[in-house]
Structure 1
Amino acid sequence: MRDHADTEPGTPRLTKWLDGRLTRIGVTGVFPRDCLLAAALTVLTFVLLTALFWFVAPEDGVSFDRARAWLLVAICCAQAMLLCLRRVRPLLCLALVVGLQLPIIGFSLPEATIRGLAPFVVAYTVGSLLPVRRALLAVGAVVVVESIGAAVVVTPDLLTAIAYVSASALTYASATFVGGYVATYRRYVELVRVRADEAIREQRTKVQAAIGAERSRMARELHDVAAHHLSGMVVQAAAVERLIDRDPAAAKAGVAWIRSQGKETLDNLRLVVGVLRGRPGHEGGDGAAPVPGLGMLDDLVDTAGNLAGPVEFVREGEQREVPPIADVALYRIAQESLSNARQHAPGAAARVVLRFEPRSVSLEVVNEPVAPRRVPAARTGGVGLVGMRERAQLIGATFTAGPTAAGGWSVAATLPTNGPAATRSKEEAPA
């Protein structure tokens, strides 16, 4: 037997309203509410049968003597009172109701067999609470028992017995079917609700994951753009501070360079904001800015060489196109590597190697050890390395970073140009 809550999914509004009122007055649980239902149906049975025996039946030419009528009313009311067990003990309730139906058949007239409300209600309950097979077996047994009782008690006439059996089978079968249908509908509503809740939770999980991915993307872009230019501006500002008295012309040129770098930083930040807002086709300076890629490594190396120590750029192999997201990611890795070299090994020579092989594209940025007379900046929390590693993972590339045997620092990323990683990169949009 299924354990039903006070109010189930798919319950009609009237039932929900009644359940709410009963809960408000403290009537909770299955048995107390079924007791109230049994009491209400007992009163209704008494009223209906009284009207039937004293008003309706005489007009149709059917006459019940007073003792027989009151006895039938009493038995039918007793049937209704048994409905307090309909959900706590449905099979017992069904057996007791049918057991009382047999004397009702015996005291009824052949031309007017009486049936109260309880058989309909208990058959409905059995259909709604029990599995279909058990409900059909129980109702089938009830029909057989009641039919045998009718054949023995009421009349030996075959046609009358067949008519009564048909009416009994129709009564119990229809009520059981309705109960089963209602239970099935409630289970369906509950299943829909559960699936809807699961879909909502899954959607929320996807949204949170998308938000987290977008935050990481924004952090990478802002760090790559701002850190590269701003670190260079800080280094150049320190140089200007030292040159302002000794070489005003050089200091003035340094200030002009800082101004140009500030403008370039602002343009790049506008580009990042435009891309993150998803407005690739809008008109204006933001959308017209070029998307960085491996084709701009020459400019990146020239800028880094003019600002700090010498930077050498080596391109090996026949250059070919790579997926857009990989193009941007490898550029950003080179940009961040040079920025780190400028910050932690100022003045040290660096070398950028872009290698095109038949089955891969690799990028390596190596800087020499810092000169003894220079004091390298203390390493920070490694946000740049985290961002570079995330970019490499995003495009399916291998990433390594660490000190070299000579005391410098090396960053390398290798992207396979065939297989699942490359395929995934082609399907992505540029960051």
Structure 2
Amino acid sequence: MTAPVKGRRATPGQRLDRALSRMGAAGPFARDAVLAVAIAAVTLGLYTILVRLAPAEPSLQVTAADVWTMGALASAQGLLLCLRRVRPGLCMAAIVLLQLGIIAVAPQIMAQGLGPAIAAYTVGGLAVPRFAAAAAATAAVLETGMSAVATWGEPGAAVTVLNQLGSSALLYAAASFIGAYVATRRRNMVMARERSEQVLRAAREREESAIRAERTRIARELHDVAAHHLSGMVVQAAAVERLIERDPAAAREGAESIRMQGKETLANLRQVVGLLRERGGGDGTAPVPGLSALDALVEEARRLGDDVSYTCEGEPLVLPPIADISLYRIAQQALTNARQHAPGAAVALRLAYKPHAVELTAVNGRARREPADLEHGGTGLVGMRERADLVGAEFTAGPVVDGGWSVRLRLPVREADRERRGVERTSGEFASGTGER
């Protein structure tokens, strides 16, 4: 049952459906049964009136008995309409047979009730066009043939037959065509509604996918920043705890270092917020660091007590911003993982600019002391791999022979990046007055 849209007046069909539902009878068959009974009652009422008029009109050439017979047959046609959507072909065939009986009783009247028209309309809408056309043509031919048989040898028989042919052909052709047109229009509306729903679903899926991707990006940025700084703060806090009684001065220095780490963590989180803020909505936050800030990253790790060596080989290239920050975050996460899982181990960080690629390697040895009890989600490697996939880099991570861990990344370099680096270098030389003029 179709529910009416809130704020709109219900259609007669919707009101009928609600009434039938309250009586425990809903659906197409129930509606057709109500329609059939209504048409049968109206038809019987009309023929009852015709019974009184027929004797007073000699030109009709029918008796009261003939009219009652025709009324009974027409009412039966109306009752058969309850099958019009259940068995449309059988329904139309039975109604046409009853119509032949009406023609046989009074061919000169050419009485056509609502039953044949509704049956032809239904077949036109539900059946294939070829079957609907054949059914309409067959019905018209049969009724014309019955008219010819019933008026055989009577004066004006030819005119009566021709009138019957025109009446039947027009009724069945028009009803079938209208039924087919309405059904086609409904199907097109359903298809259009389904296509619209598909477009809306696709749009919602794209929106949800974009939201999930943005949430993942935010989570990755926050994880990289927070895990790097907070892991160092936890390590320093453990050292301060051991030094409180033995060396209060060193403990105070450690506490001061933790305070500075906290301030730096807040500053980096503000940088992340600045990166994630929409364009035009920024508040002047500092830019997110890239590969040029690896020296500062290594110095920070050394201040935290990490044994980190850093080498940079080749001539630096200007990478796309997303690649620049991704490689920086991967290096940052590699140092964080080494601090968490292999405390005290030496870490070798290497950045190499090659003709066709940029390579980043971080290798740490075996842990020299027991790792601190850190609660973490274990998403560091996942985040590094996601960042590598985002920029089209090759990423590998795994244990090495001496019990340590290795992280390797190789980012292919486009020709445009090398050319842009050359242009920027030349521009810098001219700006400093060292280039040729």
Following superposition, the deviation at residue 249 of structure 1 comes to 5.4
Q: Is the 8 A contact 1:308 1:342 kept in 2?
A: no
CA distance in 1, matches of 2:30, 2:245: 97
What is residue 309 of structure 1 aligned with on the other side? 306
Amino acid at match of 1:308: G
| Number of equivalent positions | 407
CA distance in 2, matches of 1:381, 1:81: 73
Following superposition, the deviation at residue 365 of structure 1 comes to 0.9
Question: Is 1:344 the equivalent of 2:350?
Answer: no
Following superposition, the deviation at residue 227 of structure 1 comes to 1.0
CA distance in 2, matches of 1:73, 1:22: 28
Q: Is the 8 A contact 2:147 2:160 kept in 1?
A: no
Q: Is the 8 A contact 1:274 1:280 kept in 2?
A: no
Following superposition, the deviation at residue 254 of structure 1 comes to 3.4
What is residue 272 of structure 1 aligned with on the other side? 272
Which whole-Å deviations, capped at 9, do the CAs of 1:269-309 have from their partners, x for residues lacking one?
A: 23334544x4343243xx42211211211111111122223
Following superposition, the deviation at residue 376 of structure 1 comes to 3.9
Q: Is the 8 A contact 2:107 2:160 kept in 1?
A: no
The 5 A counterparts of 1:158-237 are 158-237=158-237
Following superposition, the deviation at residue 37 of structure 1 comes to 2.5
CA distance in 2, matches of 1:27, 1:57: 43
Following superposition, the deviation at residue 166 of structure 1 comes to 1.9
Following superposition, the deviation at residue 80 of structure 1 comes to 2.0
CA distance in 1, matches of 2:74, 2:282: 84
CA distance in 2, matches of 1:116, 1:312: 100
Which whole-Å deviations, capped at 9, do the CAs of 1:30-75 have from their partners, x for residues lacking one?
A: 5554343322211111222334564599699756443333232222
Q: Is the 8 A contact 2:77 2:98 kept in 1?
A: yes
CA distance in 1, matches of 2:2, 2:342: 72
CA 1:81 to 1:281, structure 2 compared with 1: closer, same or farther past 3 Å? closer
CA distance in 1, matches of 2:261, 2:39: 88
CA distance in 1, matches of 2:67, 2:2: 39
Q: Secondary structure at the match of 1:407?
A: coil
Q: Secondary structure at the match of 2:352?
A: strand
CA distance in 2, matches of 1:207, 1:357: 39
What is residue 426 of structure 2 aligned with on the other side? none
CA 1:283 to 1:126, structure 2 compared with 1: closer, same or farther past 3 Å? closer
Amino acid at match of 2:83: L
Which whole-Å deviations, capped at 9, do the CAs of 1:203-246 have from their partners, x for residues lacking one?
A: 55445444443333232111111111111122223334455566
Q: Is the 8 A contact 2:275 2:287 kept in 1?
A: no
CA distance in 2, matches of 1:173, 1:400: 75
Amino acid at match of 2:37: A
Pick one of 69, 72, 84 that aligns with 2:70. 72
Question: Is 1:14 the equivalent of 2:12?
Answer: yes
Pick one of 390, 395, 399 that aligns with 2:395. 399
The 5 A counterparts of 1:31-430 are 31=29, 33-52=31-50, 54=52, 64-108=62-106, 110=108, 112-154=109-151, 158-243=158-243, 250-276=250-276, 278-284=277-283, 287-371=284-368, 374-377=369-372, 382-418=378-414
CA distance in 1, matches of 2:58, 2:324: 95
Q: Secondary structure at the match of 2:223?
A: helix
CA distance in 2, matches of 1:97, 1:411: 84
CA distance in 1, matches of 2:131, 2:343: 85
Q: Is the 8 A contact 1:345 1:377 kept in 2?
A: no
CA distance in 2, matches of 1:59, 1:7: 49
Gaps of 5+ in 1: 1-5, 420-431
CA 1:169 to 1:228, structure 2 compared with 1: closer, same or farther past 3 Å? same
CA distance in 2, matches of 1:124, 1:404: 81
* Superposition TM-score, scaled by structure 1 size: 0.83
Which whole-Å deviations, capped at 9, do the CAs of 1:129-155 have from their partners, x for residues lacking one?
A: 212221111111111222222334346
CA 1:67 to 1:381, structure 2 compared with 1: closer, same or farther past 3 Å? closer
* Superposition TM-score, scaled by structure 2 size: 0.82
CA distance in 2, matches of 1:331, 1:95: 81
Following superposition, the deviation at residue 76 of structure 1 comes to 1.7
CA distance in 2, matches of 1:152, 1:302: 112
**Higher normalized contact order (CA 8 Å, seq sep 6+, divided by chain length):** 1
CA distance in 2, matches of 1:305, 1:261: 13
